[in-house]
């Protein structure tokens, strides 16, 4: 699979002749060849899988992209979907590319490449044993799946995935912890830093950011306080060997009470004629529908303080208006409790937001 220069021929001022065939050496018709940057259509392959392109070289090097729309029965993919023409390509005058034809039937299942340290762990998918690490599991049903790795003398590892169809197996690498690990730890952070940390109502000697170690497995209430800001408290359950993260995000400032002013000056009785002021129609706030997903693929999302969790064992759509929005992302299995923010600006061209709660940032794309 890939872009391979196979044929040589006589150089031509009339352009470069391109031939595209699939793995069975059948011509691929309807492949669009567009010049990168300008998106100009340079040509489309005919029934013989051939097209001659004459790109504009006056602007420097020419890079083009190969794309074929999906059909009802198959799709065509290229290992490298773009190619930069070289001087020798113009001299030769002929290029040959190979496309992968993927039948739609093969896109109804997913595959996982699972490895562990140490290897040899039993793999359970939704409670059914599927093999031992390291291996590639194929023909898995699409949708949410719980993957559990179990090995004698090691703590079991459980992860949730939303399995999607794809050509390449989804990688899943796990380092198993010894059962000798009896305690857990949690890293607590906030913005601003320097907030005092309380554990189950008792003040600790730590301020954010800090890692609380040697905690017995169980449920904990963790609170942070800082002068001039509102206190915040979260609850989380820590499993044996867990290395959890708890990010309180931006702490809200305390709002001072309104001050009332008393005046000893008697009220003025003069009446002034007021000139009517012109009123302008306020600009309507920008709004847009976004597709929200998380990475890793399973987490609960709380949007802008809404107590209702949105389970993203896949993704969900929501309308966001202009301004800064706060996403609290919770994965109790890792465990992670983190706050991430995204600002919607007027005319925002992005429509997909990936909440990467391990990196602590939003990855936006059109």
Confidence of residue 262 (pLDDT cuts 50, 70, 90): low
pLDDT at 6 over 50: no
Confidence of residue 51 (pLDDT cuts 50, 70, 90): very high
Chain centroid offset of residue 182 CA: 33
Adjacent-strand bridge partners of 41: 34
Please give the Cα distance from 140 to 160 (Å, whole number): 14
pLDDT tens figures, 324-350: 888 888 887 777 888 888 999 888 989
Residue with tokens 């169980």: 218
What's the whole-number mean pLDDT along residues 235-263?
79
Torsion of CA 236, 238, 243, 245, to 10 degrees: 0
Question: Is residue 45 a contact partner of residue 10, using CB atoms and an 8 Å limit?
Answer: no
What's the whole-number mean pLDDT along residues 75-85?
74
Tokens matching residue 227: 């002068």
pLDDT tens figures, 290-313: 988 888 777 888 888 777 777 656
What pLDDT score does 73 carry?
65
Residue 336's contacts (CB-CB under 8 Å, 6 or more residues apart) are: 244, 245, 246, 299, 329, 330, 357, 358
What's the whole-number mean pLDDT along residues 240-254?
86
What pLDDT score does 4 carry?
39
Classify residue 77 by burial, with Cβ atoms within 10 Å: 0-12, 13-18, 19+: middle
Please give the Cα distance from 139 to 93 (Å, whole number): 43
Please give the Cα distance from 358 to 195 (Å, whole number): 22
What pLDDT score does 72 carry?
65
Please give the Cα distance from 329 to 355 (Å, whole number): 8
**Where are the chain's structural domains?**
2-104, 108-175, 184-250, 287-365
Q: Which helix (H) or strand (E) holds 136?
A: strand 135-141
pLDDT at 231 over 60: yes
In CATH terms, the fold of domain 2-104 is Immunoglobulin-like (2.60.40)
What pLDDT score does 238 carry?
86
Same fold, 2-104 and 108-175: yes
In CATH terms, the fold of domain 287-365 is Immunoglobulin-like (2.60.40)
Q: Which of 156, 120, 131, 162 is nearest to 312 (CA)?
A: 162
Domain range 184-250, its CATH number among 3.30.56.10, 2.60.40.10, 3.30.310.80, 3.30.1330.10: 2.60.40.10
Q: Which of 144, 361, 334 is nearest to 249 (CA)?
A: 361
**For the chain, percent of residues with pLDDT exceeding 70:** 82
What pLDDT score does 9 carry?
34
* Average pLDDT across the chain, whole number: 81
What pLDDT score does 183 carry?
84
Question: Is residue 310 a contact partner of residue 290, using CB atoms and an 8 Å limit?
Answer: no
In CATH terms, the fold of domain 108-175 is Immunoglobulin-like (2.60.40)
**For the chain, percent of residues with pLDDT exceeding 90:** 17
Residue 140's contacts (CB-CB under 8 Å, 6 or more residues apart) are: 109, 110, 111, 112, 125, 163
Please give the Cα distance from 236 to 335 (Å, whole number): 8
pLDDT tens figures, 169-227: 778 888 888 877 678 889 999 989 999 999 999 999 899 989 998 898 888 999 999 98
């Amino acid at each position: 699979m890939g872009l391979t220069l196979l044929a040589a021929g006589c150089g031509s001022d009339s352009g470069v002749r391109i031939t595209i065939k699939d793995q069975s050496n059948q011509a691929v018709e309807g492949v669009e060849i567009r010049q990168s940057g300008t998106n100009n259509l340079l040509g489309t392959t005919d029934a013989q899988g051939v097209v001659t392109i004459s790109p504009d070289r006056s602007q420097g090097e020419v890079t083009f992209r190969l794309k074929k729309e999906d059909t009802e029965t198959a799709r065509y993919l290229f290992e490298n979907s773009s190619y930069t023409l070289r001087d020798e390509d113009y001299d030769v005058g002929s290029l040959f590319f190979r496309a992968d034809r993927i039948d739609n039937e093969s896109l109804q299942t997913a595959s996982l490449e699972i490895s562990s340290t140490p290897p040899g762990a039993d793999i359970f998918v939704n409670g059914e044993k599927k093999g031992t690490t390291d291996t590639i599991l194929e023909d898995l049903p699409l949708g949410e799946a719980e993957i559990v790795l179990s090995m004698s003398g090691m703590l079991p590892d459980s992860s949730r995935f939303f399995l999607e169809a794809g050509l390449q197996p989804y990688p899943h690498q796990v380092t198993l912890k010894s059962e000798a690990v009896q305690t857990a730890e949690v890293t607590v952070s906030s913005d601003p830093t320097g907030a005092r940390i309380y554990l189950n109502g008792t003040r600790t000697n730590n301020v954010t950011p800090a890692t609380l170690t040697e905690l017995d497995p169980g449920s904990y209430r963790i609170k942070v306080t800082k002068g001039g800001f509102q206190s915040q408290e979260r609850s989380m359950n820590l499993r044996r060997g867990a290395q959890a993260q708890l990010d309180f995000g931006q702490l809200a400032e305390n709002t001072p009470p309104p001050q009332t002013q008393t005046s000893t000056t008697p009220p003025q009785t003069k009446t002034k004629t007021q000139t009517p002021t012109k009123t302008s129609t306020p600009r309507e706030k920008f709004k847009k529908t976004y597709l929200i997903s998380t990475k890793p693929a399973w987490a609960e999302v709380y949007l802008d303080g809404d107590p209702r969790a949105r389970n993203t064992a896949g993704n969900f759509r929501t309308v966001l208006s202009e301004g800064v929005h706060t996403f609290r992302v919770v994965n109790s299995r890792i465990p992670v409790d983190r706050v991430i923010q995204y600002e919607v600006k007027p005319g925002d061209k992005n429509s997909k937001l990936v909440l990467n709660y391990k990196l602590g940032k939003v990855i936006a794309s059109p």
